[in-house]
Amino acid sequence: MANRVWKYLLGDGLVRTPDNFGQTGELPSHPELLDHLALRFVENGWSIKSLIREIALSRTYQLSSQTTQDRDPENRLFGRANRKRLEAELIRDTALIISGQLDPIRGGPTIRKAGQYDLNYIFDSRRRSVYVPWFRNSMLDLFEVFDAPNPNLVVGKRPVTNLPTQALFLMNSTFIREQSKLTAQRLLQEKTSITNAYQLILSRPPSESERTSTENFLNQFPPDAQEEAWTQLCQTLFSCLDFRFLD
């Protein structure tokens, strides 16, 4: 459990085979640290919250992913943070939060009457992704594209891919297009700036070149088409690498 919490927070476990601590699994990179975390976990009454707090307050967790050193390319010594791609559920939830559409209701039933073999199920809920149904025969298309685990298997460590098809999916997804339009309406209603759009979606201000190219793009649209212009801008930001990756 200590290894899995570490893996979730830092992107890789002290043992990189979380489902296999046996002879055929990998050895821990820091066995003393793993033993210490396991003992602390027991001493604190098996509290996952306390374990997360202890790791999150450590210097290792707070390191930047930016580095000029290449002596440890796999980062087995955790000398820097791992740049992490958002999980499929986080991509969906973040888009819903930004557009203002996330349904905060907790608990209760999550699955409506499904069709035969669940193949005709319509995923139209706006609740958090933890409440999205997972069927053996069908899955939300965004989850499939972004490496959600196979519901028929036990998966302790998800594969993490970075493929051109993922950007193409975000550029053509009706779900992302809808969230982009709603986000654009929100930004126009607030009479916001390009900087605020970048801050809202990417959590950073635009560079000078990005600001210039964005201004040139928006100026191509007539005044009566500003909603479409900002919708396309928002969808572009949703589709870029900086939206999908966490430094």
What six digits make up the tokens of 236? 């572009």
What residue spans define the domains of the chain?
A: 2-82, 84-247
- φ/ψ of 28, rounded to 5, equals -65, 145
pLDDT, tens digit (0-9, with 9 covering 90-100), for 64-121: 888 777 788 888 888 888 888 899 999 999 999 999 999 999 988 888 775 665 777 7
| Segments in 29-173 forming alpha helices (H) | 31-43, 48-56, 88-99, 141-145, 164-172
What six digits make up the tokens of 153? 């298997």
User: Which is more confident, 6 or 118?
Assistant: 6
Question: For residue 32, what pLDDT band results from cuts at 50, 70 and 90?
Answer: very high
Across 123-127, 129-133, 134-138, 231-235, least confident range: 134-138
Determine the Cα–Cα distance for residues 40 and 1; give it in Å rounded to an integer.
12
According to DSSP, the residues that pair with 246 across neighbouring strands are 84
Its sign, for the CA torsion 4, 5, 11, 16, is negative
User: Which is more confident, 151 or 1?
Assistant: 1
pLDDT, tens digit (0-9, with 9 covering 90-100), for 156-166: 888 888 888 89
